[in-house]
């Protein structure tokens, strides 16, 4: 018999606990916001479940130390890392692990100064602003530049590491960036790796998922593809993915902005046309085919 075991007779309904904190609403919102990313969503649900149980265990006197919550998000641009960080902050706030459900998003420029004595106050000011919530550091590996002896990134790193340990009950730090670069960053800064509890990899979207994302974005803006335009946009996705600087959902959003510009220009050019609601909403094949992506695709095929 364990003489140190708590003697509480309290019982808990998981359903009632979930309804009380409302994290199922946040997870449902994440499902609506992001197409695909099943491994990421599964991991977020697992973390939420763990934290819910830890909250119950603490109430029953079964644990005394708060879990480590700092995270690493790795993946290419446009794979939903920032959106997931926002939902994570909401989950942590609802479960009582942070005081505020806010996310302060920064890059190296907001943390590292240009001269001696500049970095510490910059970094501390950002930490003060983020305290009680989540600090999201995008492209975190740029903090460390060992090839530059006059770089002040190491000072910011040391301050971050100290706060991540001493203030971990009041601040969650999420480091984000490309997977291979983050691996090198952690190898060069083992203090970060030892403080990161959850490493989450964000996969690239498949072609079909990118089409779903495009159609979802269009619906939200009250646009739609015509049947022919949809077929051409499928070709557009395949071509665009093979070209440089492709950024998943971000590139799709940029493409849709250009489609809307071309559609508006086409509509305005025909001054005598009386337009219907369907005309105003429809993206046509000609709007898609006017993209430079198709010209580049032809050039690549010819060469």
pLDDT tens per residue across span 194-241: 899 999 999 999 999 999 999 999 999 999 999 999 999 999 999 999
CB neighbour class for 191 (10 Å; exposed up to 12, middle 13-18, buried from 19): middle
- Average pLDDT, whole number, for the chain? 91
Domains in the chain, please, with CATH?
A: 14-202 (3.40.50.300), 207-302 (1.10.8.60)
pLDDT tens per residue across span 237-275: 999 999 989 999 999 999 999 999 999 999 999 888 889
Distance CA 19, CA 26 (A): 11
How sure is the predictor about 9, in pLDDT bands with cuts at 50, 70 and 90?
Answer: low
In 3D, which of 89, 69, 35 has the Cα closest to residue 202? 35
């Amino acid at each position: 018999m364990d003489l140190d075991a708590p003697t509480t007779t309290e019982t808990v309904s998981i359903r009632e606990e979930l309804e009380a904190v409302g994290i199922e609403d946040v997870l449902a919102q994440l499902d609506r916001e992001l197409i695909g990313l099943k491994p990421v969503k599964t991991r977020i649900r697992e973390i939420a479940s763990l934290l819910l149980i830890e909250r119950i265990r603490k109430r029953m006197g079964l644990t005394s130390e708060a879990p480590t919550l700092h995270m690493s998000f790795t993946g290419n641009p446009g794979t939903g890392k920032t959106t997931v960080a926002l939902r994570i902050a909401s989950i942590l706030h609802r479960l009582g692990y942070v005081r505020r459900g806010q996310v302060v998003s920064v890059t190296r420029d907001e943390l590292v100064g240009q001269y001696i004595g500049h970095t510490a106050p910059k970094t501390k000011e950002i930490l003060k602003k983020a305290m009680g919530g989540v600090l999201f550091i995008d492209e975190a590996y740029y903090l460390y530049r060992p090839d530059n002896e006059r770089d002040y990134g190491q000072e910011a790193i040391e301050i971050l590491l100290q706060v991540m340990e001493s203030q971990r009950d009041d601040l969650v730090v999420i480091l984000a960036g490309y997977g291979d670069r983050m691996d090198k960053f952690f190898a060069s800064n083992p203090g970060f790796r030892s403080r990161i509890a959850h490493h989450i990899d964000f996969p690239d979207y498949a072609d079909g998922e990118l089409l779903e994302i495009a159609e979802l974005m269009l619906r939200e803006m009250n646009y739609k593809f015509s049947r022919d335009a949809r077929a051409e946009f499928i070709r557009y996705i395949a071509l665009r993915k093979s070209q440089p600087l492709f950024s998943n959902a971000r590139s799709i959003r940029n493409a849709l902005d250009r489609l809307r510009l071309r559609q508006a220009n086409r509509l305005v050019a025909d001054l005598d046309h009386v337009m219907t609601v369907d005309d105003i909403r429809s993206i046509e094949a000609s709007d898609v085919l006017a993209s430079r992506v198709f010209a580049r695709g032809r050039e690549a095929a010819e060469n």
